[in-house]
């Protein structure tokens, strides 16, 4: 029996999958990091903002585990509590994190400038708009209506709690593809602002776009980012870009506003038979 020859997909892009905090809302991804620092402090464990940012994008309970697994943090826990971090510590800190995060979302739900214009451009290209997030369903029950009131209504919201495992696994991307009824996966683009976003998209077989300025890696409000001396801002963004490229991101841009032009380039590459 002769099997059919598999040919590279040369059709159009069909969908994008956007992250939330740092990509679509909450410029600088300020809400989650503040909550993590305060939640750890409630258990007498000091963590720095930089430490709290490292695992950003993971499922929130996995984020707590990742911070506790950092050697410097684990050493602090041992000094303070007399034993290394345990799963009981994870669960206790996460319990506080969940409630605090839901409350914090209300103050960190403003759309990132350029989002609505980008979404309009995606719609004009005929794209479906899915989303994935490290937030839980209860957190998104608060955020989604706030975003809707500002005009942002993606077609689908998939949370880390909706799938067997969150980032860097590809399951949220897979669920987006399934529920949006899109295939092949190279007809989709993952857009996010953390290394785990990039890994999620790559593991799913999608094109990936990483954002340097609006998200977790720079970690500044728009006002604070704009206030940096231009040379310092450029140097910081170049460093973030290099880190994303080392992760394997197909494209690196500053904010969601830059993405429509990137999608035009991906469309050209697909038509030429290229794959992610």
The answer to whether the CB of 15 falls within 8 A of the CB of 127 is yes
Q: Is 258 a catalytic residue?
A: no
Q: Which of 19, 26, 197, 258 is catalytic?
A: 19
Contacts of 39 (CB under 8 A, 6+ apart): 64, 93, 94, 96, 97, 100
Element housing 15 (H / E): strand 15-18
Q: Is 175 a catalytic residue?
A: no
Q: Is residue 6 packed enough to be buried (19+ CB in 10 Å), middle (13-18) or exposed (0-12)?
A: exposed
Q: Please say whether the dihedral angle defined by the alpha carbons of residues 43, 49, 52 and 57, taken in this order, is positive or negative.
A: positive
Rounded Cα distance, 60 and 75, in Å: 22
Q: Which of 60, 128, 175, 190 is catalytic?
A: 60
The answer to whether the CB of 194 falls within 8 A of the CB of 22 is yes
Q: Is residue 3 packed enough to be buried (19+ CB in 10 Å), middle (13-18) or exposed (0-12)?
A: exposed
Rounded Cα distance, 93 and 87, in Å: 10
Catalytic residues: 19, 60
């Amino acid at each position: 029996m002769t099997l059919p020859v598999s040919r590279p997909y040369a059709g159009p892009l069909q969908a994008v999958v956007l992250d939330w905090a740092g990509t679509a809302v909450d410029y600088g991804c300020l809400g989650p990091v503040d909550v993590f620092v305060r939640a750890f402090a409630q258990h007498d464990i000091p963590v720095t903002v930089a430490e709290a940012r490292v695992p950003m994008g993971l499922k929130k309970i996995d984020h707590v585990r990742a911070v506790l697994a950092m050697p410097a943090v684990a050493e602090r826990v041992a000094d303070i509590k007399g034993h290394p971090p345990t799963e009981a510590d994870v669960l206790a800190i996460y319990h506080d994190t969940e409630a605090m995060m839901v409350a914090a979302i209300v103050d960190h739900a403003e759309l990132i400038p350029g989002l609505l214009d980008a979404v309009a451009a995606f719609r004009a290209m005929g794209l479906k708009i899915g989303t994935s997030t490290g937030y839980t369903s209860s957190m998104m029950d608060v955020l989604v209506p706030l975003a809707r009131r500002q005009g942002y209504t993606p077609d689908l919201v998939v949370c880390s709690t909706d799938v067997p495992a969150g980032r860097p696994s590809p399951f949220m991307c897979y669920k987006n593809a399934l529920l949006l009824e899109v295939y092949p996966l190279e007809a989709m683009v993952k857009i996010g602002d953390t290394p785990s976003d990039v890994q999620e998209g790559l593991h799913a077989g999608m094109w990936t776009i990483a954002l340097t300025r609006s998200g977790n890696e720079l970690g500044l409000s728009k006002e604070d980012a704009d206030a940096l001396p231009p040379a310092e801002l450029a140097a910081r963004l170049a460093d973030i870009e290099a880190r994303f490229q080392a992760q394997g991101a197909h494209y690196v841009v500053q904010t969601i506003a830059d993405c429509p032009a990137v999608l035009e380039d991906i469309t050209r590459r697909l038509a030429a038979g290229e794959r992610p």
